[in-house]
Chains A and B, each alone.
Chain A
Amino acid sequence: VEILSRAPALGFFDGLVPVWQGDTLHQVRAARHIAATGTLEPPLIFPDNDLPGVMLAGGARRLAALYAVRPGETAVVATTGDRGLAAALALHAAGVAVGAVADLRHDAGGGELAERVRAAGIELLPGTTVVRALGRQKVTGAVLGRVNAAGLADPATLRELPCDLLAVSAGAIPSTSLLLQGGAKARYDEATGRFVAESLHEQVLVAGEVGGFEDADAAELSGQVAGAEAAIALGKGETEARTELRDAKARLAERPAPSPVATPPAYARDGKRGGKAFIDLDEDQTVKDIAYAAAEGYDSIELSKRYTTVTMGPSQGRFSQLAAIRALGAHTGLTPAEVGMTTARPPWVSVPMGALAGRPFEPAKRSSIHGRQREQRAHVRWAGDWRRAYDYGDPQAEALAVHESAGVIDVSTLGKLLVRGPDAGELIDRLYPNRFSNLKPDRVRYGVMTSDAGRIMDDGTICRLDAESFYVTTTSSGAAAIEEWFGWWLAAWDLDARVTDVTQGLSAINLAGPRARDILAGLTDLDVSAESFAYLDARRGPVAGVEALIMRIGFVGEVGYEIHFPAAYGEHVWDALTAAGARPFGLEPQRILRLQKLHVIVGQDTDSESTPYTAAMPWIVKLDKEQDFIGRWALEHAAERAGETSLVGFTMVDGHVPTEGAVVHADNGGPLGQVTSSRRSPQLGQVIGMAWVPAALAADGASITIRDEGRDFAATVTTKPFYDPDGEVLRS
């Protein structure tokens, strides 16, 4: 069974049901459709019913029961059925003081819910409704009273109750639009005071509240009945379906009848002057506007609708149509059945024009090695606007292979900029807090880019190619923004430098592991010995016959080479490396490996407030640099003051892998920081992570408590890399 979630049906076109899901418009043609479209809860109509604090009882109940949000401190509930009673109980349970429940039914339904309301100590006022909301900018109270058939209150029954929440419910209207579009007839049901659909299209069945099955058990049984009837109609599983149908029908018949509801008057009021009674909150249409329309002779709902625009707003009459019909009836002397409903038209929900008429475009970037990685059973996920290999089925084993032998990961997604010109070094020195103008040719240096406010924006490596040329890499997600950043400042400073974005033109592969050097040596004429090709050196030369730039860097903590070359040779170089024994690894093992080295991922381990100082990288800032640079002023201030929090590593005491984002908290339960990364390290046999903690706790051996999934877990702080803390492996 294919489930389309977040996918509303837009209409019913003679058997065709368009279903909108994101950028896709599914066109469903089925032999049988089952509509389970539910009901809508309309508001009550009374003076000043638009004051903030007046809300639907169903909304108040949902906030309280589902989201643990108290929509007010003191509530009054006005209802015509059990929905209001249920809302009152939910509000009471959430700690809202419920002053009273005005139930228009003379016996308040006479059922269990009414008893529970009373048992909760809530005053229940049968035969009563709300006739005015009090307050100017917000609700401060409600006036309740008994009303006659025209909605006018008996002055002797009026009561004022203070409240800041007035929850109202005028029952439940079946969402019949799709059924009516399919040719069903609308009939006004005097017993419930609402329109129901009958004479359904032969291909349509109903289930749930739209079919009058109110409680959850009945709704579920009605779904079984509809499903079995559909299956039988299609000739599927006939014996089983008939048995199920018989059983479900029998059980459905045993369900209690829907709870009674009262029909509210068109306009309940206390008879005093002032206060607008809104029928259509979308279109600002009041009872008075409907009265004008009736006086002008617009006695049909279709004409009145066009005259007043009632029901023509964004909600398309979902909440206003029945009230408008009652109001028009009250002013014309017609019954609701005689007034009738407006024509149901698609779309049932608002839908972008693009979903109806346009082609769905989802630009996805793929490296030139992508196809080969798919053949190698890579699990691919979105990473920014790239499709990337997340793992190849066993991330732990892939990570171990990098430690024990050699691995390759496609890092073509890194941003890549070529910065050339006499002022290229000056430009980079002004953009980064680190110093690069003294970088020697064929050497590489790590760089963190900061904003004007000294906050970390991006990171990457800068390789000097010659006196006037630098090769800059950025994070994958930051590539476009950093290229723009370079461009803006280059224009502002008018330096003699040129920036060329070669991100998509070059593939990049990181070869890492104890065998990496041997593998590379077998594919190039370059001298790759540790003496000739040291850590943070760069070399240019052929790899597997392809001209490449090779940088010896180590994001994953082992001896590593980042090989950059024309993207058109992606598969060729990848194949050569894997054929020589390097095992492909994906993003997930890379994250394990880099975490062991406490290498940050900008945007995951840092946020908009992180500076190089708080992120434990003070060495990256060269305040003694001759050039002014972006963020200098802010970083000078940051250097003078200890940050309140610091980014540290931690190990879990009991092996639990905390959720990224879990809270680091104090003994008294207050939040102190949060986990940014966490993984189980197969190499270390431990669960490790990174977290922001108070600066006072940023010390080796400090104990912290992490609250995750409602439980507390102990962890121990470390400030040095978990693996190869002194970088001996990396530099070997």
Chain B
Amino acid sequence: VSFAFLSVEATASAGGLVTASLDVVARSPMERQARAAGARFEVRGGWNVAVAYDGEHERLQRSVGWSDASHLTKLELSGPPPLSLGYGTGTRTEDGWWLPMTRTRTLLVDAQNGAAEHLGAAALDVTTAFGALILAGPLARETFARFTALDLRPHVCPPGAWRPGSVARTPGGILCLAEDRFLMLFGAALGQYVWTVVSDAGGHLGGGPVGADALVREEAGAGA
């Protein structure tokens, strides 16, 4: 059976060519807010991705930056996961981040090419069902503290910790990607709302939006 109607990838790889229109671009639920904040966009993998903002480097160094990551592929697996997962812990493999939601429901986030194929019918593309923001910088935890009660202190939420729960009074979850770097998931329809909440909380701390490329550069810099 074809579930292509669920998938951006299906349209990007085939459907979009039917009309040969460059306009067939997937857009994040926060694209309008990102654009209003001065984002520069590039089409990547069929998505219009906010890649850069002015002043983003300083935000990441001194305060907090948030980057729209809604384009990351997300698969939902029903049934027992194919690998052992600990409750409250995300597991990174070459397929992506495995995030246990319940004993029989798992999200695979940032799913890499080929993951869907080898997981077969158990996996469903739910990329567009979730909005995603990456918060990074020395004040990322402080920003979260202003809209969620999830305990993100370093000794209880180290890199790899996965905290499903209430985020700004909506169902969501937070994955600690690295020290001072977090991925937050939430319902896609709440994108504008969550962007507003994060902007309000982080803006008071001197933070602001950052592009996807700035995070890559920052990570590479930290690695170096």
Contact = CB atoms under 8 A, between A and B. Distances in A.
Interface string A22-50: 00000000000000000000000000000
Nearest to A499: B78
B216 interface: no
A164 to B, nearest CB: 47
A479 B15 CA distance: 29
Contacts of B24: 544-546, 569, 572
B182 to A, nearest CB: 19
A506 B29 CA distance: 12
Nearest to A505: B129
Contact of B126 (A359, A502, A544, A575): A502
A418 B129 contact: no
B15 A572 contact: no
B7 to A, nearest CB: 7
B4 A567 contact: no
Interface in B154-201: 168-170, 187-193, 197, 200-201
Given A359-B201, A361-B168, A546-B16, A565 B5 contact: yes
Given A506-B128, A542-B18, A545-B18, A568 B5 contact: no
Interface residues of A, number: 46
A538 to B, nearest CB: 10
Nearest to B20: A545
B124 interface: yes
A540 interface: yes
A568 B128 contact: yes
Contacts of B97: none
A386 B189 contact: yes
Contact of A542 (B15, B188, B190, B201): B15
Nearest to A497: B78
A732 interface: no
A363 B168 contact: yes
A260 interface: no
A544 B24 CA distance: 8
Contacts of A510: none
A371 B29 CA distance: 10
Contact of A498 (B11, B78, B191, B200): B78
A469 interface: yes
Interface string B3-28: 11111101100111111010111111
Nearest to A471: B5
A402 B201 CA distance: 44
Contacts of A412: 189
Given A359-B146, A540-B5, A566-B26, A498 B79 contact: yes
B15 to A, nearest CB: 4
Contacts of B28: 568
Interface string A631-664: 0000000000000000000000000000000000
Of B6, B24, B25, most buried by chain A (CB within 10 Å of CB) is B6
A366 B28 CA distance: 12
Contacts of A359: 146-147, 197, 200-201
Interface in B1-59: 1-8, 10-11, 14-19, 21, 23-29, 32, 47
A321 B4 CA distance: 72
B129 A364 contact: no
A716 interface: no
A469 B6 CA distance: 14
B170 A566 contact: no
Given A359-B147, A547-B5, A567-B29, A364 B193 contact: yes
Interface in A315-366: 359, 361-366
A364 B126 CA distance: 21
Contact of A363 (B169, B200, B201): B169
B196 to A, nearest CB: 9
Contacts of B190: 363-366, 504
B65 to A, nearest CB: 20
Interface residues of B, number: 52
Interface in A455-473: 465-466, 468-469
A571 interface: yes
B128 A505 contact: yes
Nearest to A565: B5
A76 interface: no
B11 A566 contact: yes
A242 B90 CA distance: 72
Interface string A491-509: 0000000101111111000
B23 A572 contact: yes
Interface string A519-537: 0000001000000000000
A363 B193 contact: yes
Interface in A363-386: 363-368, 370-371, 386
Contact of B5 (A549, A571, A575): A549
A420 B77 CA distance: 12
Contacts of B169: 361, 363
B14 to A, nearest CB: 8
B76 interface: yes
Contacts of A501: 129
A266 interface: no
B189 A366 contact: yes
B4 A540 contact: yes
A564 interface: yes
Given A505-B127, A505-B129, A568-B128, A547 B1 contact: no
Contact of B192 (A366, A500, A569): A366
A544 B26 CA distance: 13
A575 B19 CA distance: 14
A548 interface: yes
Nearest to A498: B78
Given A364-B190, A465-B3, 14 more contacts: A359-B197, A361-B197, A363-B193, A365-B187, A366-B29, A420-B121, A500-B126, A502-B124, A505-B128, A545-B21, A546-B16, A566-B26, A567-B188, A569-B24
11 contacts: A367-B189, A386-B189, A500-B76, A502-B6, A503-B189, A505-B130, A540-B5, A544-B24, A545-B11, A545-B15, A566-B11
- Which 4 pairs of residues, A with B, have the shortest CB-CB distance? A505-B129, A568-B26, A498-B78, A365-B189
Interface of A: 359, 361-368, 370-371, 386, 412, 418, 420, 465-466, 468-469, 498, 500-506, 525, 540, 542, 544-549, 564-572, 575
